[in-house]
Amino acid sequence: MAKKQKITNPGDWLTPEKRKKEIIKKIDKAGFSEVELERLKKKARIDLKALLSDKDRIDFLQALTNKKLYSGRIILRISTTGRGWRLHETSKPDGIHSVRKAIDFFMKFEYEEEEE
């Protein structure tokens, strides 16, 4: 059984985003052939094309909203039952047709951090 590596400095930990950037830097510097590049990607267990940005995620939610599967109006709010927050389509007239604007509106006008 392999011994677990102990990391003493939390700064040594790489987030998935930082890990992706480090791998891309190494690949770019090395100048690999297409075959070697594919082998490296499989070894690293990542598909660089499949890694999505936050913009891609928001764009996907907006595309779903534009299909108007329900109302096409979005709201971000605190749960009325006290179990977290909700970003969802709503039948209420105060919904917004833009996912980004619904998030922005909540951040600017409705969310108040509790004082500790």
Model confidence pLDDT, tens digit, residues 35-69: 777 777 676 666 656 667 888 889 989 999 998 88
- Which SS3 state, helix, strand or coil, does residue 75 take? strand
Q: CA-to-CA distance for 88 and 56, rounded, in angstroms? A: 18
Q: CA-to-CA distance for 87 and 66, rounded, in angstroms? A: 15
- What pLDDT was estimated at residue 112? 72
User: What are the extents of the domains in the chain?
Assistant: 16-51, 54-110
Record the pTM.
Answer: 0.54
- Residues, the chain: 116
Residues contacting residue 91 through CB under 8 Å, at least 6 positions apart: 70, 71, 73
The 3-state secondary structure of 79-99 reads CCCCCCEEEEECCCCCCECCH
Model confidence pLDDT, tens digit, residues 1-43: 445 444 444 455 566 677 777 777 766 666 667 777 777 767 6
